[in-house]
């Protein structure tokens, strides 16, 4: 077989679509292959893609400067003649992802260099699109690792101005994935607890798709708490009869202060965020929330409560399985504004207008002046030489975040929030083309909002910020211009009588209790093996044969527990501990006294937490079954 056939056949075993794309591509721009100083090089678009003196040395030096651990992700930007790619493939202890967006180069170089052995390695992946590279990054990401981009100066020159944009896109992508993992670690068990506690309320709520297209053809306005909300209050009042109003929790007090009543309030947090709406009359407002949101949110008197069962949230698959509700329509990306936009789509609104969706800090303001977080300001600290977020009134800010009666607890929560905000300070392209400050979470929201407009392209999307972050897919115009042609909404009273099959839900909960009995036996067995491992390790003071035997038995028991109950209640119970333990196991390449000691500590924590959380969950489920029956 030819060199090209070797490469394509190897790639086809991993990515048949990319292999077909490369094979079918017709070369349009043939580069010049040269040999200088005993090394081959390639000139493409008048640029040498490698160092002219020593391309192999350049590749080795680039790789040597990078971290190299079993969890490191080496993202190679640009194939060239493969020097850096092959050095990484040969030496990486972690994962190698080659990102080469130019099919032309892939086709040509696959004809020149045999990469088949590199391609076939289990830790090597090739991507031609940023989305595909992102998929591989997501698969290999952990809360403790960040992809390292390795490339040559020549590739930066080849891409010109686009290189910085590429780096920004990757940073947002990685930031989003890291947030997902941290969210999994911190939120899975709390969300499970919230969802179980909410079931007696959930069975009385209406899934949003049960009233699909109720507002078909109408205009929706989605209000967030960005600084520009204040500038749009008068226009919101003037056209109030002509649109369906969705508001996120942090903006509710601003609207209430100005006498504007929304049709729908959206809050999805699993922490107690009732501070956002306490003291308000919500009896004529519909509430849209998630199955896993905090139970205290359901204690307010609303006109009607609707469930938005987001299909990207794993916990909702448990609820979907229990209640039989199809959740494909429920798109979400972790931001309540996105949930509100999707709710407007489900309800049939054909024009969706954003207000206060600045996704940036405007004129020093972080939020609307009447919002729950009004005390935050963003200003340039000349002494430190950087932008900084602070609270104008720290006590008020602390009180807006925490309901705790303990002042020290409120202070700690507020301090941690400010530290995290400043750590995540970020810059994005503004509507006016300038770079403006924001936080990484907001920056990560921009791409999903753009993707939403691409997927559901049968609607009109308008952003009225005019000074905030640029959100592609949304037309930028004033709220006045967005609403001047709108028509009265008419009947807003949604009447529906939806009933869940409560017997089915109770049976599913009982099934979880039965599963816990099987798991409890495996946990006991694992604890026994762990006890023997500790005794053997203490007795020998070394990694003996007996210690290794115990390690193997314990690993098998852990593997059974962590893989046999995927997508069940137990999977959410052990999520945080499993992430830490899996990371420790990947990092352990040999058993020494230190690594075994770390392994025992992590395993001890896993079994203790699994048993403790399972007993808590078991009690919650038992209580819920009694309450339903």
Query: 120-152 burial, b if ≥16 CB within 10 A, otherwise e?
Result: eeebbbbbbeeebbbebbeebbbbebbbbbbbb
- Give the CA distances from residue 293 to residues 247, 365, 509, in Å, rounded to whole numbers and listed in that order: 17, 28, 19
Residue 394 vs residues 75, 251, 351, 400, 439: alpha-carbon distances, Å = 42, 20, 39, 10, 20
pTM of the predicted structure, to 2 decimals: 0.69
Q: Which residues is 83 bridged to in the sheet?
A: none
| Residue 407 exposure: Cα atoms within 13 Å on the Cβ side | 3
- Residue 396 pLDDT grade (very low, low, confident, very high; cuts 50, 70, 90): confident
CB–CB of 247/264 below 8 Å? Answer: yes
Rg from Cα positions in the chain: 28
Determine the Cα–Cα distance for residues 120 and 10; give it in Å rounded to an integer: 6
State the average pLDDT over residues 487-501: 90
pLDDT tens string 134-193: 778 777 765 455 678 888 888 777 776 666 667 666 666 665 555 555 555 577 888 899
Segment holding 201, helix H or strand E: helix 162-202
**Which residues, including other chains, have CB under 8 Å from residue 503's CB and lie 6 or more apart?**
none
Q: Measure the CA–CA gap between 234 and 187, rounded to whole angstroms.
A: 39
- Give the model confidence (pLDDT) of 202-230 as tens digits: 999 999 999 999 999 999 999 998 889 99
| Nearest C-alpha neighbor of 456 from the set 347, 551, 361 | 347
Tokens of 352: 């969706």
> In the predicted model, is pLDDT for residue 111 greater than 70?
yes
| CB atoms near residue 364 (< 10 Å) | 14
Q: Who's near 614: CB < 8 A, 6+ residues apart?
A: 516, 519, 520, 523, 570, 573
Judge whether residue 200 has pLDDT over 60.
yes
pLDDT more than 70, % of the chain: 89
- Quick check: helix, strand or coil at residue 167? helix
Residues pairing with 266 in the sheet: 248, 288
Residue 479 has pLDDT above 90, yes or no: yes
| 41 phi/psi in degrees, rounded to 5 | -140, 170
């Amino acid at each position: 077989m030819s060199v090209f056939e070797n490469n394509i056949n190897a790639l086809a075993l991993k990515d048949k679509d990319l292999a077909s794309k490369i094979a079918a591509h017709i070369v349009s721009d043939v580069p010049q292959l040269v040999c200088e100083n005993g090394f081959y090089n390639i000139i493409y678009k008048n640029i040498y893609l490698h160092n002219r003196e020593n391309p192999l040395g350049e590749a080795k030096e680039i790789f040597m400067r990078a971290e190299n651990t079993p969890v490191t992700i080496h993202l190679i930007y640009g194939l060239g003649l493969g020097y850096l790619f092959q050095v990484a493939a040969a030496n990486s202890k972690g994962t190698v992802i080659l990102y080469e967006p130019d099919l032309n180069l892939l086709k040509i170089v696959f004809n020149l260099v045999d990469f088949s052995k590199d391609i076939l390695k289990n830790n090597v992946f090739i991507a031609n699109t940023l989305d595909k590279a992102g998929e591989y990054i997501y698969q290999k990401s952990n809360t403790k690792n960040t992809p390292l981009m390795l490339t040559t100066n020549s590739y930066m020159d080849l891409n010109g101005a686009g290189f910085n944009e590429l780096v920004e896109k990757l940073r947002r992508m990685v930031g989003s994935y890291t947030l997902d993992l941290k969210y999994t670690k911190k939120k899975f068990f709390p969300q499970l607890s919230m969802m179980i506690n909410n079931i007696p309320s959930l069975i009385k709520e209406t899934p949003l798709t049960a009233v699909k297209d109720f507002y078909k053809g109408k205009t929706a306005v989605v209000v967030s708490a960005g600084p520009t909300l204040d500038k749009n209050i008068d226009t919101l009042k003037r056209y109030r009869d002509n649109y369906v109003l969705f508001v996120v929790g942090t903006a509710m007090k601003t609207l209430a202060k100005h006498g504007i009543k929304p049709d729908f309030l959206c809050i999805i947090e699993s922490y107690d965020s009732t501070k956002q709406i306490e003291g308000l009359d919500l009896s004529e407002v519909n509430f849209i929330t998630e199955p896993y949101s905090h139970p205290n949110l359901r204690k307010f008197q609303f006109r009607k409560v609707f469930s938005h069962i987001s299909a990207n949230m794993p916990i909702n698959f448990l609820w979907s399985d229990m209640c039989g509700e199809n959740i494909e329509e429920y798109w979400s990306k972790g931001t309540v504004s996105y949930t509100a936009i999707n709710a407007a789509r489900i309800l049939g609104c054909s024009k969706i207008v954003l207000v206060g969706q600045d996704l940036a800090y405007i004129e020093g303001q972080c939020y609307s002046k009447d919002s729950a977080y009004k005390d935050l300001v963003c200003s340039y600290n000349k002494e430190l030489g950087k932008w900084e977020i602070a609270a104008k009134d720290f006590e008020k800010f602390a009180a807006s975040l925490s309901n705790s009666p303990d002042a020290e607890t409120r202070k700690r929560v507020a301090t941690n929030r400010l530290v995290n905000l400043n750590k995540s300070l970020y810059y994005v392209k503004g509507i006016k083309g300038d770079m403006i400050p924001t936080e990484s979470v907001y920056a990560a929201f921009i791409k999903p909002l753009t993707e939403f407009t691409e997927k559901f392209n049968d609607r009109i999307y308008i952003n009225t910020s005019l000074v905030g972050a640029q959100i592609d897919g949304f037309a930028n115009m004033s709220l006045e211009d967005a609403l001047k042609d709108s028509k009265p909404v008419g009947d807003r009273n949604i009447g529906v009588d939806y009933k869940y099959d409560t017997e089915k839900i109770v049976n599913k909960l009982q099934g979880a209790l039965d599963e816990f009995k099987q798991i409890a036996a495996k946990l006991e067995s694992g604890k026994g093996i762990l006890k023997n491992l500790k005794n053997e390790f203490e007795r020998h003071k070394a990694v003996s044969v007996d210690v290794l035997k115990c390690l193997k038995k314990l690993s098998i028991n852990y593997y059974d527990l962590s893989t046999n109950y995927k997508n069940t209640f137990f999977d959410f119970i052990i999520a945080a501990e499993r992430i830490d333990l899996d990371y420790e196991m990947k990092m352990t390449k040999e058993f020494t006294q230190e690594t075994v000691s770390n392994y025992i500590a992590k395993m001890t924590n896993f079994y203790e937490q699994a048993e403790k959380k399972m007993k808590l969950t078991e009690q919650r489920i038992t209580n819920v079954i009694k309450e339903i029956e």
